[in-house]
């Protein structure tokens, strides 16, 4: 494996390793924790680096990279020199040799490590200023995606959804824009509230978990809370929902706010977790769905174009619950009870 032959200094100069020890980046944390778990025979050098990183502050004076490299070289030369002395002069005791090497290391290592951290810290600060960028994650129909935001918050995107945010987040807030549907597990940070702009509303939280459904072609925008509390406000930029409510709406666990775009009103109620959250576990749930809702959900879920040629409306709403099943399995299980026929033609699903 790549890190099997790493020395202490190699770990110290590895940016990803540094992020893990300092808990700065979720992806690095996950990677190195997996490495630590899977490589018990190679932990000793990493442990030494961890101990050093935890004891050295960022306040040391920095050197340039050439000086840092030279300092490491000096440590090695001192160590080699005294090993040679020990070999040629048997009168040197092991204790005296080790004592001298430790003195050399004690004087030099803090400067080297401090310099590395200083350089890394200043580089990171510079990158944050210069390289702050808008990150956009978008997935097509038929797919789902789990991502981790710069603060460690987890977001699971449903099909045909898009999320955008600045990396890194601002110092005073964590702002995310959503189109489509996503489930959020927000890392608590009272100093930087978490805000989601979606479908003409703003969802405001500190640390909680919740689901937002705000597809552009839906007539409803829904916010459903699993844990913690959220506050919802309207955004001034969106006229389509601006008159839905005049004050903030606060939701508690198991509560849902539904904003009706066409009627410009809002409704707070309890929700069915299977219906709202089942998509995260691959559960497709229908409760008295119309044919239009049924078709739209299947198109998003399976990434297929559907054409409805049926002129007579179905007599009752479509009902069903499907766990990680194929499109063919769903259609076979529903066409009889829902009174429709289907066929595939030129890559499209035809319902009649």
Among residues 214, 229, 302, 207, which one has the least CA distance to residue 259? 214
Regarding whether 336 and 258 lie in a shared domain, the answer is: no
User: Is residue 174 in a domain?
Assistant: yes
Do 184 and 266 reside in the same domain of the chain? yes
Q: Are residues 146 and 235 in the same domain?
A: yes
* Model confidence, pTM: 0.61
For residue 156, the number of C-alpha atoms closer than 13 Å in the C-beta half-sphere is 12
- Give ∠ CA 71-24-165 in degrees, rounded to 5: 130
| Domain stop point among 254, 275, 296 | 275
Tell me the angle at which helices 327-334 and 291-302 cross, rounded to the nearest 10 degrees.
160
**Mean pLDDT throughout 62-73?**
46
| Boundary residue ending a domain (228, 258, 275) | 275
Q: Is 276:318 a contact under the CB 8 Å cutoff? A: no
Same domain assignment for residues 232 and 267: yes
User: Does some domain include residue 96?
Assistant: yes
Examine residue 123 and state whether it is found in any structural domain, yes or no: yes
pLDDT tens digits for 237-265? 444 444 445 568 999 999 999 988 765 67
Neighbours of 107 (CB within 10 A): 11
Q: Same domain for 178 and 260?
A: yes
Domain edge (last residue) among 89, 113, 130: 130
Assigned domain for 193 exists = yes
Q: Which residue has the higher pLDDT, 56 or 300?
A: 300
177 and 68 together in one domain: no
Whether 90 and 217 share a structural domain: no
Give the dihedral sign, CA 102/103/104/106: positive
Determine, yes or no, domain membership for 2: no
* Count of domains observed in the chain: 3
Residues 286 and 303 in one domain: yes
Residue 91 lies in a domain: yes
CA 276 to CA 224: how far, in whole Å?
8
The verdict on residue 1 lying in a domain is no
Distance CA 321, CA 273 (A): 13
Do 12 and 124 lie in one domain? The reply is yes
Confidence of residue 87 (pLDDT cuts 50, 70, 90): very low
Query: What domain range includes position 51?
Result: 8-130
Pair (226, 292) in one structural domain? no
Using 50, 70 and 90 to split pLDDT, how confident is the model at 186? very high
The answer to whether the CB of 180 falls within 8 A of the CB of 169 is no
Give residue 209's pLDDT band: very low, low, confident or very high (50, 70, 90). Answer: very high
The DSSP element (H or E) to which 291 belongs, if any, is: helix 291-302
Q: Dump pLDDT digits (tens) for 283-325.
A: 999 888 888 888 999 999 999 999 998 777 776 788 888 998 9
Radius of gyration (Cα) for the chain, nearest Å? 29
In a domain, residue 3? The reply is no
Q: Which residue has the tokens 């035809």?
A: 350
What is the model's pLDDT at position 17?
80
């Amino acid at each position: 494996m790549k890190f099997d032959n790493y020395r202490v200094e190699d770990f110290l100069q590895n940016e990803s390793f540094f992020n893990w020890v300092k808990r700065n980046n979720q992806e690095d944390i996950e990677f190195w924790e997996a490495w630590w778990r899977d490589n018990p025979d190679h932990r000793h050098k990493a442990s030494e680096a961890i101990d050093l990183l935890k004891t050295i502050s960022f306040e040391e004076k920095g050197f340039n990279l050439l000086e840092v490299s030279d300092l490491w070289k000096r440590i090695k030369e001192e160590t080699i020199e005294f090993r040679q002395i020990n070999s040629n002069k048997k009168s040197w005791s092991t204790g005296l040799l080790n004592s001298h090497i430790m003195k050399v290391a004690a004087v030099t290592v803090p400067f080297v490590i401090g310099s590395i951290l200083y350089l890394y810290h200043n580089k990171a600060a510079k990158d944050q200023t210069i390289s702050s960028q808008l990150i956009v994650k978008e997935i097509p129909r038929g797919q789902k995606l789990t991502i981790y935001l710069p603060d460690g918050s987890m977001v699971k995107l449903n099909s045909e959804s898009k999320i955008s945010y600045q990396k890194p987040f601002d110092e005073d807030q964590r702002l995310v824009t959503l189109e489509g549907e996503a489930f959020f597990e927000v890392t608590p940070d009272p100093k930087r509230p978490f805000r989601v702009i979606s479908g003409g509303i703003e969802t405001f939280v500190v640390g909680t978990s919740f689901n937002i459904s705000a597809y552009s072609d839906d007539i409803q925008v829904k916010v459903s809370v699993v844990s913690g509390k959220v506050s919802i406000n309207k955004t001034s930029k969106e006229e389509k929902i601006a008159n839905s409510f005049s004050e903030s709406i606060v939701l508690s666990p198991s509560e849902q706010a539904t904003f009706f775009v066409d009627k410009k009103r809002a409704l707070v109620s309890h929700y069915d977790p299977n219906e709202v959250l089942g998509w995260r576990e691959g559960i497709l749930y229908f409760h008295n769905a119309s044919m239009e809702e049924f078709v739209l959900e299947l198109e998003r879920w399976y990434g297929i174009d559907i054409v409805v040629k049926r002129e007579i409306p179905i007599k009752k709403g479509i009902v069903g619950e499907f766990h990680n099943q194929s499109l063919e399995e769903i259609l076979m299980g529903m066409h009889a009870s829902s009174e429709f026929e289907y066929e595939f033609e030129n890559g499209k699903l035809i319902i009649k």
